[in-house]
Chains A and B, each alone.
Chain A
């Protein structure tokens, strides 16, 4: 069942540039377990869309199957949603995005949905550089079927069941980088300060923006032996640095130390400001990002933050040279060549 959120709101809730309150971006009440990391991510998505002043109905939210894929019901209630087939969200978004290039496409998936059954589609949607945000709510286990290890569970990590995982883990950020994603980040559901600007930056990016968000499963994988527990992730995270998202036309008021930051202008005119914690990572260089990931894996820490960004890439619509007017708005006059051409074709077939 879906339960509606009560409509009552404080009359002085802040409005965004379009005059919407945050409540206009909320969905139905979550039916996930209390304390689930996924709900925090849903909250950040709501805040990001509100603060970015995206019209709620101009976003399409799509997902596969699993706990994570249920969340689109819990945010953006005025947006069309599509809870598709297990592991196949990328193909459905690809078709949807081809049909109408004017919407923002937000894909939500889980580690089972992406790293196992959906690995092929994940790889290929990244490779095509589809203009979308792809969020993985990564808890290292299959929640809906009661806690089996997933392909992102670290070797040796054990869920509540207690058996250590015997296989090596797939690092989805590494995969995304290898496959050609043009925006790659990792974050933690328990770190809103880092997550919020990352989601905003991903939504402003033109091309395939991937965020792997570690999001502990409080019911099956939040125990001491797990490397995807709140405690473990808090203790072992190392951020690439911090980032600020500055919307278009907003004055930058914060003070920055010169020389330690980069500013990236996004296609929509907004900008992302990065403060690097570590000089060894160059987020504009894919090789550097891959090396940083490997270094952190070797040292047993979890690299979070923005790892790679390329604002000069061509997305799928650019590569295919599709019309600026969305394909779903074309009609007979644009599409049908008429009988005269058919007569010519007939003549050539005699």
Chain B
């Protein structure tokens, strides 16, 4: 057998039982490597369940800084007998399987092509702890201690993390340190350490942070000046409002009066949540909601009202696998079309596509400026992978000189001075009209907001030409919006090529890595990351310039590609799909393989457009 040998380059997967406290121990492991200066990319793979079902934590460790999912497992650490058969099967030949050998391994599972390492975790716990809950909790910490020996993790980094985590509280730090030592010493005494795979201190992390996208979004809303948050609990978006509340409690409570400069309402459903956001925004407060697929379906009627009545609305959509309840704890980018054209009638909604926690923060705060400047819903499209996993990210930053852009709001003074007010009157030629907040002026500036057709002065009308003029103005406004949304980012491969790859959101890391692999084989592609809908003109021009563009996305129906074809009228032969929709984040190997399949059979028109898809479970 040839063992996999590597330094700072491997994938480890922890197999745990949901609800046993494994998350914090696994987090301790990932963060220790991060503090050693090694880039890490941890992913939670969890069931829709609170306690008892299998859950996994997959960490990619990579000195080159590749953060996307790689595919393949080098080390499996199994503390869950339920999933053991699957876990051991998944290990790549030459890899390592670490398991609790208090109970001997079922010989039918034995593999000769991997290294099998036993750790008597249950026995160590039973010998050292009497309380059943402690036995369960410390089992997790013990295996992290053992990994420190097996992988050469700096033990001092681990204890330093415990100090930070428990803020120096000795009664918590000491027992955890003891548990780490139990594992560490056992491994040192009984197993040849380190394994073929190990880590060493590096300098590839710089000033980066490890943060989940949902927390970053909550902070973005806080910094963006949101005061009213209305929401309905739904995985995987729930932690957005949780984070907003956590930080609002710290900084938004007046120390003198104890009064809050924010209001959070857990609504009775998503319809109500978006209704509250629209009511608050109409009344001049910055307001947002966070939801996921099923919530988007419910909110669609209100999104049409906000589009047509032109009410600033901020909505964070943390996407999960649909349709219907789908796979609620798995990731996808499959709400693109549902959001881009949300609601009945002719609608177009503004979408933002962040791809890192830093961008979640930046776009989160920006959403409020855009919503008020453009007077329309802003739907920020993230996903479970970005939202619920710790992602390595540039640090967050805020310019203290920054002022909120409140958009076109006519003041009492302007009304008093005789400025003409028509709620839907385009006075500046950018198709965006002035609004007034309720209560502004005793006799001027009041208007009636409605989802029915109305003229420029907000008076109800059923005249076809007035309705049409308004709808055409909304289309002109779309052009204005185009100038305000974040522009795409391009990566030039530095060679002559007429082929490019186009991606968005969480497909970025894997796409870039795949391009490196392809370049090593002499296949060169330019790359563009789209960051908003409406697509900027730059996107159109870029696609036109290339003969063939691969559109990478995490859904079945190539929704972004459909949107590109609809908006720019490209033919289907120009845009090729690279897809993944099995609920796991798309991997670099998958992208590379799909692109190569396409390139090989380029002149063959597939009978079915997804014929080149690499399916879940298919070898990469």
Contacts and interface: CB of A to CB of B under 8 A. Distances in A.
Are A and B a genuine interacting pair, yes or no?
Answer: yes
Interface of A: 1-2, 55-58, 60, 62, 72-73, 77-85, 88, 90-100, 102-103, 120-121, 123-124, 128, 317, 320-324, 327-328, 330-332, 334-339, 341-343, 345-346, 348-350
B566 interface: no
B272 A342 contact: no
Given A80-B446, A83-B451, A98 B252 contact: no
Given A82-B449, A342-B396, A349-B211, A91 B460 contact: no
Contacts of A124: 267-268, 272
Interface in B450-470: 450-452, 459-462
A100 B439 contact: yes
A91 B439 contact: no
A56 B440 CA distance: 11
A145 to B, nearest CB: 16
Contacts of B46: none
Contact of B225 (A82, A100, A336): A336
Contact of B460 (A60, A73, A337, A339): A73
Contact of B305 (A84, A94, A327, A341): A84
Among all A-B residue pairs, the 6 with the closest Cβ atoms: A95-B279, A91-B275, A99-B285, A80-B438, A95-B276, A95-B280
Nearest to B442: A57
A330 B209 contact: no
A94 B265 contact: yes
Given A84-B305, A120-B272, A335 B252 contact: yes
Interface centre among B279, B397, B459 (most CB of A within 10 A): B279
B439 A80 contact: yes
A179 B257 CA distance: 31
B446 A95 contact: no
Given A80-B449, A81-B449, A85-B302, A99 B279 contact: yes
Contacts of B254: 323
B368 to A, nearest CB: 10
B619 interface: no
Nearest to A89: B275
A33 B34 CA distance: 72
A330 B406 CA distance: 12
Interface string B279-293: 111111101000000
Given A73-B448, A83-B448, A336-B223, A96 B283 contact: yes
Given A2-B459, A99-B228, A328-B437, 10 more contacts: A72-B448, A80-B439, A96-B438, A99-B280, A100-B437, A103-B283, A338-B400, A350-B35, A350-B208, A350-B210
- Looking at A57, A337, A349, the one whose CB has the most chain B CB atoms below 10 A away is A349
A346 B396 contact: yes
A57 B277 CA distance: 22
A98 B282 contact: no
B228 A82 contact: no
B550 interface: no
A98 B450 contact: no
B263 interface: yes
B227 interface: yes
B271 interface: yes
A157 B262 CA distance: 48
6 contacts: A62-B279, A83-B448, A96-B280, A99-B285, A317-B263, A327-B261
Given A1-B462, A327-B261, A332-B225, A95 B278 contact: yes
Contacts of A337: 222-223, 247, 251
B396 A327 contact: no
Interface in B197-249: 207-211, 219, 222-223, 225, 227-228, 230, 247
Residue among A73, A103, A346, A348 with max Cβ neighbours from chain B (10 Å): A346
A276 B278 CA distance: 42
Nearest to B268: A124
Interface string B303-338: 001000000000000000000000000000000000
Interface residues of B, number: 78
B395 interface: yes
Contacts, number: 231
A94 B280 CA distance: 8
Contacts of A60: 283, 438-439
Contact of A103 (B275, B439, B462): B439
Contact of A57 (B280, B398, B439): B439
Nearest to B259: A323
A327 B35 contact: no
B441 interface: yes
A288 B400 CA distance: 58
Contacts of A56: 442
Interface in B407-425: none
B171 interface: no
Nearest to A329: B284
A88 to B, nearest CB: 5
Contacts of B223: 336-337, 342
Contact of A85 (B264, B273, B305): B305
A284 B272 CA distance: 31
A95 B287 contact: yes
B104 interface: no
B447 A80 contact: yes
A46 B395 CA distance: 56
B423 to A, nearest CB: 10
Nearest to B443: A78
A349 B210 contact: yes
Contact of A83 (B209, B272, B452, B462): B452
A338 B284 CA distance: 22
A332 B404 contact: yes
Given A328-B285, A342-B396, A323 B280 contact: no
Contacts of A62: 279
Given A102-B439, A321-B260, A335-B225, A96 B451 contact: no
A105 B247 CA distance: 30
Contacts of B279: 62, 82, 91-99
Contacts of A342: 219, 223, 396-398
Contacts of B402: 332
B258 interface: yes
A128 B272 CA distance: 13
A93 B276 CA distance: 7
Nearest to B301: A85
Contact of B251 (A81, A103, A341, A343): A341
Contacts of B281: 95, 99
Given A322-B263, A327-B227, A337-B251, A95 B277 contact: yes
Contacts of A332: 225, 402-404
A327 B276 contact: no
A281 to B, nearest CB: 31
Most chain B C-beta atoms within 10 Å of own C-beta, residue among A90, A97, A98, A322: A98
Given A57-B439, A94-B279, A88 B399 contact: no
B269 interface: yes
A57 B284 contact: no
Contacts of A72: 448
Q: Which of B219, B399, B437 has the most chain A CB atoms closer than 10 A to its own CB? A: B437
Contacts of A100: 283-285, 437-439
Contact of A78 (B210, B399, B446, B449): B446
Contacts of B251: 337, 341
Give the one of A79, A83, A128 with max B CB within 10 A. A83
